[in-house]
Amino acid sequence: MERARGREMSSLEGKVALVTGGTRGLGRAIALGLAKMGAAVAMNYRRDEASAERTLAEVRALSPGSMLVRADLEDEGQVRAMVAETARQLGSLDILIANAAATAFRPLLESRPHNLERTFKLSVGAFVAAVQETSKFMAAGGRVVMISGIDAIRNLPGHGVLGGAKAALESMVRDFAFELGPRGITVNGVNPGFFDSDSSRMYAEHVGIPYDEFNARAAARSALKRLPTLEEIAAVVCFICAPAASCLTAQTIVLDGGLTLGFPLAS
Ligand SMILES: NC(=O)c1ccc[n+]([C@@H]2O[C@H](COP(=O)([O-])OP(=O)(O)OC[C@H]3O[C@@H](n4cnc5c(N)ncnc54)[C@H](OP(=O)(O)O)[C@@H]3O)[C@@H](O)[C@H]2O)c1
């Protein structure tokens, strides 16, 4: 009886999740994690068809009802259509994971209006539109999880624009949590520090440090002397989505092995 209750508290059987940028990197790991817990997952992507088809096959092997939903999240109309299409095809929408992000690596002093416009549309604009639209379908027990970044809380050269957007998102997580809380919906963020993905490898290249050295230097500053894996980050996101986390809301959890609290001169 108690064990059955334990399983119930960590099951997403019968739930529907939408993961933005869900076909590569962290989004893929989250989609796989949610599917393992029993959710049907809609994975959004913009243009990488090959990754999308590969991930769809992997996720469908765990949760056959899962699907892809193509949308450019810089376009508010496409964000709203993505949410409505997911709810129409999968019958409801219980979990929204706002994960997709992209930016041009550029100092704030050199950023141009279109850099701000595009980065903020994709992160802040898409988040607000997606939560607004999702809230039309979400019942009590619903979950919204926003993926933040170390740039929201620390200086990261070339990431001033995205850092500003992520800081805005962390603030909006708190406000959405209070707006949706009375309906039994929780809203949280996960701030994962650094992890291995196409974008962190591109960033290491941008700052001119070989990826292994970049990784080793960041790990040296952390408490655990290593960075989190995609699966470890996805596990925390999945926990937030589980019934067991019903009273966790309005928080952004920093999940970085202790990196952001490390001594600046550690080597
Ligand atoms: N990598 C890190 O070390 C790190 C650290 C802290 C926080 N984060 C955050 O973690 C999240 C995931 O990062 P990641 O490194 O796993 O990302 P990634 O490997 O660069 O993948 C980005 C995903 O976002 C999608 N995407 C990009 N622009 C889009 C648009 N306009 N419309 C729809 N989808 C779009 C991509 O779709 P396509 O495949 O179709 O292009 C892809 O699925 C992001 O929010 C990022 O800011 C990353």
pLDDT at 18: 98
For the purposes of burial, counting CB atoms within 10 Å of the CB of 176, is it exposed (0-12), middle (13-18) or buried (19 or more)? buried
The pair of three-digit structure tokens given for residue 217, joined into one six-digit string:
């230097």
Q: 21 C-alpha to center of ligand 1: Å? A: 6
Residue whose CA lies nearest to ligand 1 atom number 46: 101
137 in Cβ contact with 18 (< 8 Å):
no
For tokens 């999945």, what's the residue?
238
Q: 187 C-alpha to center of ligand 1: Å? A: 20
Weakly modelled stretches of the chain, pLDDT under 50: none
Residue whose CA lies nearest to ligand 1 atom number 4: 194
C-beta 260 within 6 A of ligand 1: no
Count of residues making up the chain: 267
37 in Cβ contact with 238 (< 8 Å):
yes
pLDDT at 75: 98
C-beta 46 within 6 A of ligand 1: yes
Q: What domains appear along the chain, each with residue ranges and CATH number? A: 2-193+229-252 (3.40.50.720), 195-227 (no CATH)
Q: 220 C-alpha to center of ligand 1: Å? A: 25
Mutual angle of helices 25-36 and 230-241, in 10-degree steps:
50
Task: Report CA-CA distances (Å) from 151 to 180, 204, 213.
Answer: 27, 14, 20
Dihedral (C-alpha) 89, 91, 94, 98: value to the nearest 10 degrees? 10
C-beta 21 within 6 A of ligand 1: yes
C-beta 150 within 6 A of ligand 1: yes
Q: 24, 47, 217: which to mutate for ligand 1, most atoms within 8 A of CB?
A: 24
pLDDT at 267: 66
* DSSP assignments along 182-204, one per residue: GGT-EEEEEE-----SHHHHHHH
C-beta 198 within 6 A of ligand 1: yes
Task: Name the nearest CA neighbour of 162 among 130, 122, 128.
Answer: 122
C-beta 214 within 6 A of ligand 1: no
C-beta 25 within 6 A of ligand 1: yes
Which numbered atom of ligand 1 lies nearest the CA of 230?
A: 16
Q: How far apart are the first and last CA of the chain?
A: 50
pLDDT at 3: 80
Alpha helix stretches (DSSP H) within the chain? 2-9, 25-36, 49-62, 76-90, 113-120, 126-134, 160-180, 198-206, 211-221, 230-241
The pair of three-digit structure tokens given for residue 4, joined into one six-digit string:
């059955």
Task: Name the nearest CA neighbour of 241 among 5, 6, 34.
Answer: 34
Q: How many CB atoms lie within 10 A of CB 100?
A: 27
The pair of three-digit structure tokens given for residue 8, joined into one six-digit string:
């119930």
Q: 123, 199, 207, 237: which to mutate for ligand 1, most atoms within 8 A of CB?
A: 199
C-beta 122 within 6 A of ligand 1: yes
Which numbered atom of ligand 1 lies nearest the CA of 20?
A: 34
Q: 142 C-alpha to center of ligand 1: Å? A: 23
* pTM of the model as a whole: 0.97
For 64-81, letters b (16+ CB in 10 Å) and e give eebbbbebbbbbbebbbe
pLDDT at 253: 98
Dihedral (C-alpha) 37, 42, 45, 51: value to the nearest 10 degrees? 60
106 in Cβ contact with 163 (< 8 Å):
no
Q: What does the alpha-carbon distance between residue 245 and residue 219 come to, in Å, rounded to a whole number?
A: 29
pLDDT at 16: 98
